Chain A
């Protein structure tokens, strides 16, 4: 008998006033009882719309029915047959726009907590290990594939190919594996130990990883293929240069990109006393932008003890961040200054930031993106007293690979041009993730890695 409660089982989490002072994980995860109860809310639809909403097509009703039966290990097998990084997706996917957005239960009440269940299954597996020992490593097929970048796109592509027997090497520019999962997304939202576990699993399947290797500088795509014998290359090098507003004062001391702020905190652990990496400890911070990265930066700044404002030019309804992140940020005491846009950064005689001048906005007709266009209200400027401004406005694709790979077609925005299989203008060179689309989500990058892995397998298995 299905559980017909209109509400999801709530997610146990740290108290907002406690967690906004530490970097431990916010959401604590379902217990076995909660997971089974939530799983029973799934109607096991004949034509499951949720699966279509998932970029990697996780067999959702199938894994949820295993959870309902208490067969958590089997549920894990179902998920990982299409998704290499379930503990990560269960935490950072924008489920409300994907699987849960399609859930039939969401029409009258709340959708099934698919993301929470995915997380539960992955965490259960990580805590209890695999029944019957580690999964078998497939026989090598003798084909060599290089993956550039160890973020969600690269790890997914590498994982899928390794499971098919390919000899895969991942090249990572930074000293740690995980790309945006380690330098961008904070510990309190995605513990780094979880990323490390997922990476260890890929290594178990034979994936080799080379850190400290910048493709485009240390080695080029052509050298990977011509000198090192890789038959195909997947480029998942991620987003690149952060965007800044073209306003006066944007280079003052105390103005930094969200990428820089988050990298210092997440990758370099600069909030811990042992770390040699410097970090500013601002008193009042304005984070400009409304996406997940803006929420992450704001919540990190809060944890460093600052009073934090989110400055966003549209309204609360239009915030592009995951709904849960916005809710968590509000609970933690982040102040939202929506419908307002910076026009100037103010500083003292030493160039230290002392404020941000904003102008009020109102929403006009929808623009090309379908969202209502923000319009300045003349004469409505006002100053906000802050000593730090963090720009979270997105990024443009990294220039290193395109400038060192001849014949690689690039679009106007700097993204690598690919066809529906992820194939670039160069033979046997594939690409996906933010390097192609510009800043997007973890799961879309994973979807692209998966598509490319399938295409690479088709191309190489014919050889």
Chain B
């Protein structure tokens, strides 16, 4: 069992969990993910690692409540245990040998973008960052991003904080201003990563995206996480999760991720109702 040693609500629906998992903490690298199961009937869900402390033996994840499993997770408290916590899975992000990079994070994807950004920074790269949120209330990790980047642009869809507009607009401004990036690294909703890739393509800037498709085992067994990259079949769990954003077949990836949408919606409502009943 894997104990929650710290739980912190970053925003009403975005929560940080620090979990006791010494073997995972010892091996974790930025860009890798874990798979967790909340309880006996739980689904296995992949979540990218936010932080890790090999000495303390803990791994930190930041999770937005979006479905049945994340709802159940949000009802656990410090001291409670997760049924399963496996990792680190996937390949680590390649951060060495870059002079200047721009890291783009969208929404809770910023939780994952941050350790990658920090690693780029620690490897000696000049780091710019663009982070985007729906509105002011959802902004997370701004101070951490600011500390590790020389330029930071915060965007909100409604303009309630920072620059109004999409991360792609801000990224384009940076590129147009003459910044020459060796690489753009994007993590966030699939649609955002798709448009970041479309934005950088005309400039020929190598662009890496972190994919999070449907997955069960996460070790190269089920084939649920397959993607078409450059016309070849790739498995996010063992070949990724990082891929060349200019080669990913985005329309296919977006549609495949909707495969269980109906079920997930139904299960989420069912779970929420259950918690409501318990509360009464």
Contact = CB atoms under 8 A, between A and B. Distances in A.
Contact of A241 (B44, B221, B249, B259): B221
A399 B238 contact: yes
Contact of A218 (B24, B256, B259): B24
Contact of A268 (B44, B68, B72, B83): B44
A241 B232 CA distance: 14
B222 A398 contact: no
A217 B255 contact: no
A172 to B, nearest CB: 10
Contacts of A244: 223, 226, 233
Interface in B207-265: 216-217, 219-224, 226, 228, 233, 235, 238, 249, 252, 255-256, 258-260, 263-264
B45 to A, nearest CB: 9
Nearest to A260: B222
- Residue among B69, B256, B259 having the largest count of chain A Cβ atoms under 10 Å: B259
Nearest to A262: B222
Contact of A175 (B68, B84, B255): B84
A307 B221 CA distance: 27
A398 B219 contact: yes
A212 B235 CA distance: 20
B142 interface: no
A276 B27 contact: no
Interface string B77-110: 0000001111111000000000000000000000
Contact of A212 (B85, B220, B249, B252): B85
A253 interface: yes
Interface string A419-439: 000000000000000000000
Interface stretch (A277-285, A316-324, A332-340): A277-285
A369 interface: no
- Residue among A238, A254, A268, A280 having the largest count of chain B Cβ atoms under 10 Å: A268
A38 B239 CA distance: 52
A219 B27 CA distance: 8
Interface in A206-254: 211-214, 217-219, 238-242, 244, 250-251, 253-254
B223 A257 contact: yes
Nearest to A272: B41
A278 B228 contact: no
A175 B219 contact: no
Contacts of A343: none
Nearest to A237: B219
A398 B220 contact: yes
A389 to B, nearest CB: 13
- Residue among A211, A217, A253, A254 having the largest count of chain B Cβ atoms under 10 Å: A217
A273 to B, nearest CB: 9
A47 interface: no
A455 interface: no
Q: How large is the interface on B (under 10, 10 to 19, 20 to 34, 35 or more residues)?
A: 35 or more
Contacts of A174: 217, 219
A175 B271 CA distance: 23
B56 interface: no
A183 B223 CA distance: 14
Contact of A217 (B42, B88, B224, B259): B88
Contact of B252 (A218, A251, A274): A251
Given A242-B223, A278-B43, A214 B86 contact: yes
B267 interface: yes
A346 interface: no
Interface residues of A, number: 43
B41 A400 contact: no
A350 interface: yes
Contacts of B85: 212
Given A214-B89, A244-B233, A277-B43, A398 B255 contact: no
Contacts of B222: 242, 257, 259-260, 263
A211 B255 CA distance: 33
B219 A400 contact: yes
- Residue among A240, A251, A398 having the largest count of chain B Cβ atoms under 10 Å: A251
B23 interface: yes
B37 interface: yes
A264 B216 contact: yes
A165 B255 CA distance: 54
A222 to B, nearest CB: 13
Nearest to A243: B223
Nearest to A212: B86
A259 B221 contact: yes
B37 A240 contact: no
Interface string A286-316: 0000000000000000000000000000000
- Residue among A175, A238, A269 having the largest count of chain B Cβ atoms under 10 Å: A175
B68 A276 contact: yes
Contacts of A213: 23, 86
A395 B222 CA distance: 10
B263 A279 contact: yes
B220 A278 contact: no
Given A217-B27, A278-B260, 8 more contacts: A175-B86, A219-B27, A253-B259, A256-B224, A257-B222, A257-B224, A276-B68, A279-B263
15 contacts: A211-B84, A213-B23, A214-B87, A219-B27, A242-B221, A242-B222, A244-B223, A244-B233, A253-B258, A253-B259, A260-B216, A267-B216, A275-B41, A276-B267, A398-B221
Q: Which 3 A-B pairs have the closest CB atoms?
A: A278-B260, A257-B223, A242-B223
